[in-house]
Amino acid sequence: MRHSRDERTWPARYGLRLFISDAVVLIWVVFGTQIVWFGTGNAQLTLREAHLPDVSYWLTSAALVILWLWALSLADSRSYRVIGIGNAEYATVIAASIRLFGVIAIVAFLFRIDIARGYLLISLPVGIVLLLLVRWLWRQWLHAIRARGHFMARVLLVGSPASVTHVGQDLSKNTNAGYKVVGVCLTSPDTDGLVKDAGYEVLGAIDDVDAARERSGADTIAVTSADDLPPEKVKQISWNLEAGKQHLVLAPSIADVAGPRIHMRPVSGLPLVHVETPRLSLGQRFAKRSFDLVAGIVIAILISPVMAAVAIAVSATSVGPVFYRQERIGRDGEPFRMIKFRSMRIGADAELKALLEAQGTSEKPLFKIKDDPRITPVGKFIRKYSLDELPQVFNVIGGSMSLVGPRPQIAAEVALYSDTARRRLMVRPGITGLWQVSGRSSMDWEEAVKLDLYYVENWSLATDLTILVKTARAVLAPGDTAH
């Protein structure tokens, strides 16, 4: 079965679109900066120390655009390996741009080229921001296309029934990653019917991989349980793939581990995957706390008018204090007092146990009441738009919370934690977190723990910034899952 030429050539065509959009952005940025800095006249770049005639800044700008595009190409920023998902594409664009301007600065210093500093200092950050914005827009378009089943790598899974089912289901959950399972080859019979129940077509056994690839039109072979295959068989599969068009992927049994913790180290011909122990270094802790403190103060100033309006609305529409303070469990199990705008009637805490028992969720650590009768009319509104959480910025400034982290829970919920869930307490709790922007109140406890542990064990400042942006988007358009 062959898929269409468009499906086979989409990486090249998508890369061309990125190249064209990059070129348009850089032409606008670089020449626009030149006009802002020098006007529309024929300003000259002095090269006397290099014993060369002066060069018009119009030529300089053209050369800068060409060099910038070349730098992005050399860094493979448009490769199918980095587009579509993750931060690698954005990191590559930023790194390539900074390296280029670093080289320009060094050359200008060594040859005493008197290039205008403002011209460079404006072009670099504005160019990076607009490049990232346009790349993000293209990514949204690609995600929409992939949601309809197009522009996907066609994957043939090879492994045991349990492993191909597990990997296949994970790939199917995230169409943004761009993998579409078109068949499986099994190392052992599917005696439990796992593959059949998952809806995957069995195209043969291990010795049938090449024929199954041709039959399904697969361009990617994913080995899901390498231990079930002889080493020579894995090499044979890779040798039979067409270079540059067909690919081999080895899916290790570890999950929920981010790239910075994974290192490939070939030893005696073995591609060993080293997974570093999750920890925050002193520098990372300092960076996170510094970011929380500075951003918390800025946010508190910016949202002070909104907090004043919410405080007036809460006070005017229901009896009781404006703020609600409750003891929550923070980092390393230390209790602290979390502050929110009051969204419920007085005495609501005393009613919680009976409501949980009534809906049959008293044994789950994620205490959520559907259609909670304790919430006031104003409380319902401020909860939907997360306005009740705004005073927690003072917890962040005080150091008991972070802007981003696992949500803090009460002692009764923490008492129900498993040993795995207790790893949520390794970092400061946050106003927002990974599971909130992934599903908000609709997510069950097990999935929330999985996302929180992924965050705890793979923290980065870039992740915090991404979650904050997604949180802002979720607050402005909360949808049906916000309570």
Shared domain for 365 and 461, answered yes or no, is: yes
Shared domain for 192 and 298, answered yes or no, is: no
For residue 274, tell me if it sits in a domain: no
pLDDT of res. 310? 95
Report the CATH number at residue 220: 3.40.50.1980
Q: How far apart are CA 431 and CA 250, in angstroms?
A: 37
Shared domain for 177 and 298, answered yes or no, is: no
Shared domain for 141 and 171, answered yes or no, is: no
Shared domain for 311 and 355, answered yes or no, is: yes
Taking only the tens place, the pLDDT of each residue in 135-160 is: 999 999 999 999 898 889 899 999 88
212 within 8 A of 185, measured Cβ to Cβ: yes
**How do 220-223 and 202-205 pair as beta strands?**
unpaired
369 within 8 A of 356, measured Cβ to Cβ: yes
Q: How far apart are CA 469 and CA 25, in angstroms?
A: 23
pLDDT of res. 48? 60
Shared domain for 334 and 215, answered yes or no, is: no
Calculate the CA dihedral of residues 75, 81, 83, 89 and round it to 10 degrees: -40
For residue 142, tell me if it sits in a domain: yes
Taking only the tens place, the pLDDT of each residue in 276-332 is: 666 677 888 899 999 999 999 999 999 999 999 999 999 998 888 999 998 999 998
The b/e string for 238-274 (b: 16+ C-beta within 10 A; e otherwise) is: eeebeeeebbbeebeeeeebbeeeeeeeeeeeeeeee
Question: Number of structural domains, the chain?
Answer: 3
Q: HSE (CB half, 13 Å, CA atoms) of 229?
A: 25
pTM attached to this predicted model: 0.67
Shared domain for 191 and 303, answered yes or no, is: no
Shared domain for 324 and 468, answered yes or no, is: yes
Shared domain for 323 and 470, answered yes or no, is: yes
For residue 271, tell me if it sits in a domain: no
92 burial via Cβ count (<10 Å: 0-12, 13-18, 19+): buried
208 burial via Cβ count (<10 Å: 0-12, 13-18, 19+): middle
* Regions in the chain scoring below 50 on pLDDT: 1-2
Shared domain for 326 and 468, answered yes or no, is: yes
Which one of 147, 162, 182 terminates a domain?
Answer: 147
User: Which of 143, 161, 160 minimizes the C-alpha distance to 152?
Assistant: 143
pLDDT of res. 1? 45
Q: How far apart are CA 214 and CA 185, in angstroms?
A: 13
For 244: left if phi > 0, alpha if psi spans -120 to 50, otherwise beta; the answer is: left
**How do 270-275 and 262-267 pair as beta strands?**
antiparallel
Which one of 207, 238, 253 terminates a domain?
Answer: 253
pLDDT of res. 16? 94
For residue 482, tell me if it sits in a domain: no
Shared domain for 204 and 105, answered yes or no, is: no
Which one of 253, 273, 306 terminates a domain?
Answer: 253
Shared domain for 343 and 199, answered yes or no, is: no
**How do 153-159 and 179-186 pair as beta strands?**
parallel
For residue 369, tell me if it sits in a domain: yes
Q: How far apart are CA 480 and CA 144, in angstroms?
A: 21
And the tokens for 205?
């056994």
pLDDT of res. 327? 92
Q: How far apart are CA 216 and CA 448, in angstroms?
A: 36
And the tokens for 186?
């099994």
And the tokens for 76?
């493979």
pLDDT of res. 4? 56
Q: How far apart are CA 108 and CA 114, in angstroms?
A: 7
Domain span including residue 395? 282-476
